[in-house]
Structure 1
Amino acid sequence: MIDDQPAERPWTSVPISAIEHFGYCRRQAALIHLDRYFTDNADTQRGHLAHEVVDRSGPSTSRDGTRCWHALPIADAELGVHGVCDVVEFHPNGPVPIEHKSGSYRPGSATDLQIAAQVLCLRTMFTAEVPIGVVFAGKHRRRYEVVVDETLADRLRAVIQELREVLQAGVLPPPVHDSRCDRCSLQEGCMPDAHVNSVFTPRPLGHWDD
C-alpha cells in the first residue's frame, strides 16, 4: 500500500515497504513512494491474494496454541520507520514477526531488510530481544528464519539513510536496466531503457500502511 507522509515533517519516518523496494531497486522505490506509480502483474496479484488471508486485523491462536496478532502496526521513532507486520507470534521468549511472501525467498535479498526493520521495531515496542524474524514463502510452503544481528542491522540503517535522502531530494534515480527489470510490474512507467533522470515533487504519503 502507499501511505501518507505528514507534510510538515517530510520523511522523518519512512515506510518499511519502501525499504524493501529500495533494497531491490532505488528507481522502483521512488516511482512507488514519490511518484505514486504502481501497476500489477501476475506476481503482484498473487501477492495481494496471499496477503488477503493473513491481513485480517486482530488476535488469533495458532493450532499449536501460539498467540498471534495479524496486521500489527509497528514503528520505531529513533530508527525512523513505520509499517505493519503481517503476523506477529508471541512466544514465551518474545515476539517474532512472520512476513508472508507468495513466491520464493532468497537469503540476503531485500526481504531481509524488511524483516530486520520489523524486528528492530518489535525490540523497541516490547523491550524484548527478538533475535529473529521469519519469512513464510508461499511457493515452497515453508518458513525461513532470518537472524537479525548487528551486521544486518547496520546494513538496514545505511539503507534507511540512503532511502530518506532520495525521498527528501525528490529525484528519480536512473534505471538499472538489468535482470531485475524482467519481472517488475513497473516497466511501462519506469522506462528502463531511458538514460535521463526525471525530477518531480514528492507527494505526501501515508502513515501506518506498509
Structure 2
Amino acid sequence: MNLPTTLDNRERDLLQVPLSALEHYAYCPRQSGLILLEDAFTDDAATIRGTLLHQRVDTPGNRGRGSIRTLHALPVWNDSYGLTGICDTVELHADGAILPVEHKSGRYQPGGPADIQAAAQAICLEEMFHRPVPKAAIYSATDRRRHSITVNDDLRTRVHQLADTIRAMLTTGSLPPPTADSRCRRCSMATGCMPKVLAGTRRYHQALTDLYTPTESQDDGR
C-alpha cells in the first residue's frame, strides 16, 4: 500500500470532517446533520454511559505497559482525506505496529458504523506516522472485550465516500430527511428530530392546512 506523501491543491482546500461525524452519518444521516448543521444534541441514558466511559480514556497522556506505549486522547488528522479528530487510545508496539482502539459503551455490531470510525482513525495515523496501520480495534464496554477489524480497501473506500458525502452536506447546509424506522427508538434525538411527523410529509402539510384554513363559521365572522 502506497501512502500519500504530498498534497495537491484539492487536498489542501478540503473542508475537514470530524471522525465522529462518520459514525453518526453511517448510523443516521439526519442525526449527523442535526449535530453538525444545527449544533443539536440530546443526552439519554446511553449517551451518558458513553460520556462516563470516555472520561476514563479522554484525559491526554502517555503511559507504558510492558513493551506497549499507550497514548490517550491523541489528536489525529489526514489531509488527503480531509479528516480530523481524536483517538481514544493508540497503542505503539515494540515491533512498530500502531493500533487505534475506539471505546464504545454499547454492544459491538460487526460491519457497523463503529468500524468506519475506527478505520478512519487508522487512516489518520498512517499519514501522521508514515507507516501502514492495517488493523484497528473497538472495545465494547457491554461485551467487555476488544473486537479487531481489518482496515481493508473496502473499508477505506467507505471512509472516503462517506467523508465526501458529509462534506457536501456541510457545504450545502442541507439537512438530510428523517428515516422514521427502528433506529429512531434508540436515538436520543428523536424528540427534536420528529421523524414520524416529518417523514409523513403529506400528512404533515395537510395538518398545517387544516390548522390555518378558516372554517365556515370564521368566514361568517362568528
Tell me which residue corresponds to 2:92. 90
Instruction: Tell me, yes or no, if structure 1 residue 42 matches structure 2 residue 45.
Output: yes
- TM-score of the pair, normalised by structure 2: 0.81
Amino acid at match of 1:187: A
Query: 3-state SS of the aligned residue for 1:182?
Result: helix
Structure 2 CA distance for aligned equivalents of residues 54 and 61 of structure 1: 14
**Which structure's CA Rg is the greater one?**
2
- Give the whole-Å Cα distance in 2 for the aligned partners of 1:140 and 1:174: 33
Describe how 1:174-193 pairs up with structure 2 within 5 A: 174-193=177-196
Cα distance between partner residues in 2 of 1:125 and 1:153: 17
* Superposed CA offset, 1:151-206 (max 9, x none): 1101111111111111111111110000110110001110011135xxxxxxxxxx
Aligned counterparts of 1:10 and 1:41: Cα–Cα separation in 2: 37
AA in 2 matched with 1:35:
E
CA distance in 2, matches of 1:175, 1:11: 27
Distance across 2 between alignment mates of 1:10 and 1:46: 37
- Tell me how many residue pairs correspond in the alignment: 187
CA drift at 1:65: 4.1
Q: CA RMSD in A?
A: 1.4
1:93 offset after TM fit, Å? 2.8
| Counterpart contact for 1:88–1:96, Cα < 8 Å | yes
Q: How much has 1:128 moved relative to structure 2?
A: 1.4
1:25-61 CA-partner distances (Å, limit 9, x unpaired): 1000000111000010000000000001111101012
1:73 equivalenced with 2:79 (yes/no): no
Q: Out of 115, 134, 143, which is 2:146 matched to?
A: 143
Match of 2:205 in 1: none
Question: Partners in 2 of 1:94 and 1:122 — Cα distance?
Answer: 11
Give 5+ residue unaligned stretches, structure 2: 1-11, 202-222
CA deviation profile, 1:60-118 (whole Å, cap 9, x unmatched): 123x4411000000001110000000000001232110100011110110111101110
Question: Structure 1 segments of 4 or more deviating over 4 A?
Answer: none
Question: What is the CA distance between 1:11 and its match in structure 2?
Answer: 6.5
Q: Distance in 2 between matches of 1:76 and 1:83?
A: 9
What percentage of aligned pairs have identical amino acids? 44
Q: Structure 1's 17 and 11: CA in aligned 2 closer, same or farther, altered over 3 A?
A: farther
Matched, 1:133 2:136: yes
Mapped to 2, the partners of 1:101 and 1:61 lie a distance apart of: 22
Counterpart position of 2:57: 54
C-alpha contact 1:11 1:168 (8 A) present in aligned 2: no
Cα pair 1:11 1:167 within 8 Å, conserved: no
- Please say if 1:152 is aligned against 2:155: yes
